[in-house]
Structure 1
Amino acid sequence: MPQPGDMHGRAALVTGAAGGLGRATAIQLAKAGADLCLVDLNADGLDAVAAEVRALGVRALPHAADLSRREACPAAVAAAVEAFGRLDALCNVAAVLFTDHAADMPSADWEKTLAVNLSAPFYLIQAAIPHLLEANGAVVNVTSCAAHRAQAYSAAYCAAKAGLSHMTKALAMEYMNRPIRFNAIAPGGMMTNIAMKMKLPADIDRSLFGRVAPLRGMVDVEEVAEMTAFLATPAASSFHGACINIDKGITAD
């Protein structure tokens, strides 16, 4: 796996940083020397991760926020810039997943899925762009193999992740001639809080849901974190508009 470039003297904002892939990404960036604004709804989890990255010799700002609220997104970027005087990388890792029959999905679950998984990355990017342009910085959006392969009982999640993947490419085209990079990672199933808390309807057709079961097992969170951090650093200067699948072949067919 590529190693993150030198981030000493640089700052990054990581969402979903209280656990799972967000925490692992933050630690990889801290090892590369980045100061970190850690954003999540889980304040206690953020404090624990902040202590971990500070032990690696970098500064950390835990910033508890509900990213489903539009105003929380520019506020998080502003907090990072105020703390560190700059912003060099934005890693949109935070996500939610609600599974249900499409006909039964509550509107609140649909709206929250799109708010956290699609709208929040856009509003964070929108606020971060001026700072990232100044720093020749990077955006890394974590999408999913569900963006490329339909997953039954997950219509909202698939729609949001497909939108995030295509939005990444659209932004890469829009900023083709400007000093900022946009890339995405599309992982397969990982042992994160999202996977462990997923509750399927009792009466699903298992043969349909089983179509996305990984034949080679779950994806290693640390491998995805290493690639996410790599894309956020200057070492990945040739990557722009890419969506990298890390899914053990689930989207190969």
Structure 2
Amino acid sequence: MSTKIALVTGAASGLGLASATKLAQSGHHLCLVDIDAAGLEKAAQHIRNLGSEAVTFCADLGQAENCQEAINSAIEAFGQIDTLCNIAAVMLPARTTDMAQSAFETTLAVNLAAPFYLMQAALPHLIDAHGSIVNVASAVGISAQAYNAAYCATKAGLIQMTKSLAMEYIHEPIRINAVAPGGMMTPLARNMMNVENPDPGLLARTTPLRGLVEMDDVADMVAFLASEKARGHHGSCIVIDKGMCAG
């Protein structure tokens, strides 16, 4: 069996790095994509220490042309791509009346437009490989969160984009799925602290009673959906939120 190739965005830290690690442990070689050059090189060395090959592509995925170039870099390095994991995201919480236009547009560009352009560029290669796409959405794309209108909108949009592409490519040899994690202790989540004097009651509405989600649990699901063991999953959105969206 030939080695599988996965491209993971947001791979320098947090869930992106955890997912890349799980994929390497399951035998994938990796194309690691992030805007953080120093973190990206550390992540690549970590993957190599696990015995997998790793190449890096450092770029701002909020610029559409960089999405095509990211896919090109994987093809140039490995000759194929079997899995695309769209994990990179920004969270810039603010009261709606205080949110800067630049912050709103950046959120849409990185969280929603970039996954679209990456999928658009990768789809022909993924179909040839009978491959898979795993999009990381969020539980707050299902059960919304105060002070986070732009982020919630992009994650809800990514869930529907996943389902739409799954329908469009229902007759093609590709699987397209999403994971919707609840709150995890990642660098991204810490941005919620930037809202001045938030209403704790509103924040509590999206705080799971069982505590934060373990990042490794989500990374395990990303790796599972990337694998052939998930052959029955297409157009699925797997919620991992310790019951937050249950009611």
- Smaller-chain TM-score range? over 0.9
Match of 2:221 in 1: 227
Match of 2:42 in 1: 48
2:208 matches 1:217: no
Match of 2:173 in 1: 179
Structure 2 CA distance, aligned partners of 1:200 and 1:211?
18
TM-score (norm 1): 0.95
Identical residues among aligned pairs (%): 53
2:173 matches 1:207: no
- Shift, 1:10, TM fit: 1.3
Match of 1:160 in 2: 154
Conserved? CA contact 2:92–2:191, under 8 Å: no
Aligned letter for 2:42? A
Match of 2:72 in 1: 78
Match of 1:138 in 2: 132
Name the SS for the 1:36 alignment partner. Answer: strand
Structure 2 CA distance, aligned partners of 1:60 and 1:207?
44
Q: RMSD of the alignment, in Å? A: 1.1
Name the SS for the 2:205 alignment partner. Answer: helix
Q: Deviations over 1:179-203 (max 9, x none)?
A: 1110000000001110123334223
Q: Deviations over 1:210-241 (max 9, x none)?
A: 21111111100001001001101212111100
Structure 2 CA distance, aligned partners of 1:85 and 1:236?
24
- Tell me how many residue pairs correspond in the alignment: 247
Structure 2 CA distance, aligned partners of 1:199 and 1:111?
21
- Shift, 1:139, TM fit: 0.3
2:110 matches 1:120: no
Aligned letter for 2:6? A
Structure 2 CA distance, aligned partners of 1:205 and 1:83?
49
Q: Which segments of 5 or more consecutive residues in structure 2 lack a partner in the other structure?
A: none
Deviates more, 1:203-212 or 1:115-124: 203-212
Q: Which segments of 5 or more consecutive residues in structure 1 lack a partner in the other structure?
A: 1-5
Aligned letter for 2:170? M
Name the SS for the 2:85 alignment partner. Answer: strand
Which of 223, 229, 236 is the matching residue for 2:230? Answer: 236
Match of 2:4 in 1: 10
Match of 2:141 in 1: 147
Q: Which runs of 4 or more aligned residues in structure 1 lie more than 4 Å from their structure 2 counterparts after TM superposition? A: none
Structure 2 CA distance, aligned partners of 1:73 and 1:37?
13
Conserved? CA contact 2:93–2:191, under 8 Å: no
Structure 2 CA distance, aligned partners of 1:49 and 1:201?
30
Name the SS for the 2:27 alignment partner. Answer: coil
Structure 1 CA distance, aligned partners of 2:10 and 2:84?
12
Structure 1 CA distance, aligned partners of 2:193 and 2:104?
15
TM-score (norm 2): 0.98
Match of 1:23 in 2: 17
Q: Deviations over 1:21-64 (max 9, x none)?
A: 00000010001111100000011111111111111211100111
Conserved? CA contact 2:141–2:159, under 8 Å: yes
Greater relative contact order (Cα 8 A, min sep 6): structure 1 or 2? 1
Name the SS for the 1:71 alignment partner. Answer: helix
